[in-house]
């Protein structure tokens, strides 16, 4: 199983050595968002709940084909979990509907699908690659953007340091919030749902300020 959209580029070498191996791309059927410049497609598909539902169904279908003796169980588990995600998707769309068109600043390229899902605009991405410190020019441009367009919420991620975000916040008076792209999390069947529900709370709090 692979997320697809270029995330597991190392698989190209494995496939070249083992051409008969079957790789299931969970990105199948999902319209991809291009990355900046020559970065290729953005692979963070699952941060959109609609895409996560498609990926869950792709996974369930693949497991049914791989292990047909348990086909009914896979079908039931897939349907049950997809229903939970659909309920959350509807809830988030309902509660975030009034914020469509709002601009945010993020610190990595993890949120384009999330922003597209809920009609948000990403005004700037400060650290496109995790761990890559933004240049003084990039920081200055972001500070200038905020000062010209009003205070925009800044969203860092729990997986990475927020030093650049704090610097921009100190220069502009903007507040730093934490959105979780669900890259990591506890080994719990409801981890993704819990993360997204918390993201909803964070977003509503940021937009109400």
Entry pTM = 0.87
| Residue 161 pLDDT class (50, 70, 90 cuts) | low
Contacts of residue 4, Cβ cutoff 8 Å, sequence gap at least 6: 25, 26, 27, 28, 43, 45
- 85-94, 96-105, 151-160: lowest mean pLDDT where? 151-160
- Regarding the domain with residue range 98-208, which homologous superfamily does it belong to in the CATH classification? Nitrogenase molybdenum iron protein domain (3.40.50.1980)
Report pLDDT digits (tens) over 135-146.
788 888 888 888
Report pLDDT digits (tens) over 162-171.
777 888 888 8
Query: What residue ranges of the chain are covered by domains with CATH 3.40.50.1980?
Result: 11-95, 98-208
CATH fold group of domain 11-95: Rossmann fold (3.40.50)
Q: Look at residue 99 and tell me whether its pLDDT is greater than 70.
A: yes
Query: The tokens of 115 are what?
Result: 């922003």
């Amino acid at each position: 199983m692979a997320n697809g959209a270029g995330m597991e580029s190392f698989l190209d070498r494995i496939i070249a050595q083992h051409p008969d191996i079957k790789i299931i791309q969970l990105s199948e059927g999902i319209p991809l968002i291009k990355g900046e410049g020559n970065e290729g497609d953005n692979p963070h598909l699952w941060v959109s709940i609609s895409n996560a539902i498609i990926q869950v169904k792709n996974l369930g279908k693949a497991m049914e084909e791989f292990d047909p003796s348990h086909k009914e169980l896979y079908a039931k588990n897939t349907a049950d979990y997809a229903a939970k995600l659909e309920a959350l998707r509807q809830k988030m769309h309902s509660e975030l509907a009034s914020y469509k068109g709002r601009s945010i600043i993020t610190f990595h390229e993890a949120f384009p699908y999330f922003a597209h899902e809920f009609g948000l605009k990403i005004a700037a991405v400060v650290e496109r690659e995790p761990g890559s410190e933004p240049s003084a020019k990039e920081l200055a441009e972001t500070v200038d953007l905020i000062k010209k367009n009003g205070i925009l919420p800044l969203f860092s991620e729990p997986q990475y340091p927020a030093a650049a975000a704090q610097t921009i916040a100190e220069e502009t008076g903007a507040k730093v919030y934490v959105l979780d792209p669900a890259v990591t999390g506890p080994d719990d069947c409801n981890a993704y749902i819990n993360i997204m529900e918390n993201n909803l709370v964070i977003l509503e709090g940021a937009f109400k300020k």
